[in-house]
Homo-oligomer: A and B are copies of this chain.
Amino acid sequence: MANVAKAIHTEEPASDLPSRQARLAYRAGNDEQTAGVAPGFVQGNLAILPEKQAAAFHRFCQLNPKPCPIIGMSDVGDPRIPALGLDLDIRTDVPRYRVWRDGEVIDEPTDVMAHWRDDLIAFVIGCSFSFEEALLADDIPIRHIETGVRVPMYRTNIVCSAAGPFAGPMVVSMRPLKPADAIRAVQITSRFPSVHGAPVHLGLPQSIGIADLAKPDYGDAVPVHPDEIPVFWACGVTPQAVIAAAKVPFAITHAPGLMLVTDLKNKQLAVL
């Protein structure tokens, strides 16, 4: 056993994991965008709530697994989530945070040591970066990556199942694809239910309450070519929008585009 452990350690010691290196840099104050950082490793959306609201939020995630797939969760007051990184500290390892009071952002610090409390519970929610990696690996082009902008996101008329104060519309991200690629993308992303899974819609944006693809509610617009259809996935912005709308007394999230980098590998999330 010692030899096996040593062999694994020699091959890829935890300290050399690019995901851990990234977290250490963020912990030290780096606040660069996480897109493209530590390729192959899972990144997550962050939501931290007091125990009093956390149970309802947990139920909200349970009821709405497509926009809110939980990939990790802390114990009450515990800043560690060892399943996502042995030395991960949720108070310091995200590049930049948003601290919310009554639905308003009151601070955007690079750590939340000053805001941490013994009653907080952290939720880490899957992110589309993981399935985008699988799409790119299959040579399916992703427009917003090609054009170097943020993915376009839209509020829809799809109503999430409510839990306590948490309620609201599903937010979706959109990627234009040729029809054959859209079919392949359904197959590929179906293998990754913990990072939003299969699309929730394709082809008819008006059917889900999107009037104009050129005017996303979040992110940046991208062109949709005549031989492409828009394909929509449930988006991890949904829980953040729901937390804002609920105007809970206190919450912490990641700042947009500045995710938690974990030691999980994207490949590990595939169910088949």
Contacts and interface: CB of A to CB of B under 8 A. Distances in A.
Interface string A201-242: 111100100000000000000000001010000000000000
A203 B232 CA distance: 14
A180 interface: yes
A198 interface: yes
A187 B193 CA distance: 13
Nearest to A208: B179
Contacts of A201: 179-180, 183
Interface in A178-206: 178-180, 182-183, 186-187, 190, 198-204
A2 interface: no
Nearest to A228: B204
A272 interface: yes
Nearest 7 Cβ contacts at the A-B interface: A186-B186, A203-B229, A203-B203, A179-B201, A179-B202, A179-B203, A207-B227
Copies in the complex: 2
Contact of A272 (B183, B200, B229, B272): B272
A207 to B, nearest CB: 5
Contacts of A180: 200-201
Contact of A198 (B187, B200, B203, B227): B187
Contact of A183 (B178, B199, B227): B199
* Size class of the contact patch on chain A: 10 to 19
Contact of A202 (B190, B229, B272): B229
A179 B198 contact: no
A154 to B, nearest CB: 14
Contacts of A229: 202-204, 229
Interface string A27-48: 0000000000000000000000
A199 B185 CA distance: 12
Nearest to A201: B179
17 contacts: A179-B203, A179-B207, A180-B200, A180-B201, A182-B203, A183-B186, A183-B200, A183-B201, A183-B202, A186-B186, A187-B187, A190-B190, A202-B203, A202-B229, A203-B203, A207-B227, A272-B272
A204 B227 CA distance: 7
Given A183-B201, A190-B190, A229-B229, 7 more contacts: A180-B201, A182-B202, A186-B186, A202-B229, A203-B229, A207-B227, A272-B272
A190 B188 CA distance: 11
